[in-house]
Amino acid sequence: MPHTTSLDELFRRAVTFPGAGVAIAALQTALGHLEEELERSADQIALRLRARHAQLCDELHAEDKEDEEYDLDRTVNVLLPRVVRGGFILTLWSTFEVAALDLAQYAYRESGKAFDADPFRNGSFLKNLDSVFTKGLGVPAFPDSTIRQRLDELRLFRNALIHHSGKIDKLPPTLQRATPAEYAAIDLHFYKDMRHQYVVPRAAFTRRSLDLVSEYILCLSERVYGAIHPIPLADA
């Protein structure tokens, strides 16, 4: 007879176990809506400006028109993406941290191990993941070193957005490029002001970031679940 998973096991996996599936699914949905709204907002702003210029074509000075076109470009390509996509990356990393903490608390409790109130409070988050899961539970936190490197790159990019508005000299070295075209090739929009040079994430960069974190935390969840619950529950 084919093997069937018991209802108790299904309940433990879907309800009791704090897998990150629900939070990740919510972020997937949210990003789709945010990109749609970003595109719609950009179109509406451009449409209103074009209508204004058509209405005032005989009154508007050429320099004023040029200034407004510049402001439009900065709003559509810099300010809105920085708020929407930059804000999403901050939320993504926060969700990642919360999911990891929930997973660790559950795993330590089920394993009967003592657990610090918040082992991720100090130091590097990724180093703490290694300490909590690899050393504390015997579950490899980073079986693929490339994934760890990519996560650290995202962490540093997030820090550059939070603390330095995306200044290119504060980006991780792996993301620093020499020309605007080279930044565009990795889906970062380059811009500058009188003092500094910056980047903001484009849609593809944000999507890759979400996919990276999603794949990592879901795979970690599966490894942890298999380690602490090696034997499936049977219905009573």
Average pLDDT score, the chain: 89
Q: What is the pLDDT of residues 38-90, one digit of tens each?
A: 999 888 887 776 776 666 666 666 676 676 777 777 888 889 999 999 999 99
- This prediction has a pTM of 0.90
1 has a pLDDT exceeding 50: no
Q: How far apart are CA 141 and CA 128, in angstroms?
A: 10
Each residue's pLDDT tens digit, 152-170: 999 999 999 999 999 999 9
- For residue 14, name the pLDDT band (cuts at 50, 70, 90): confident
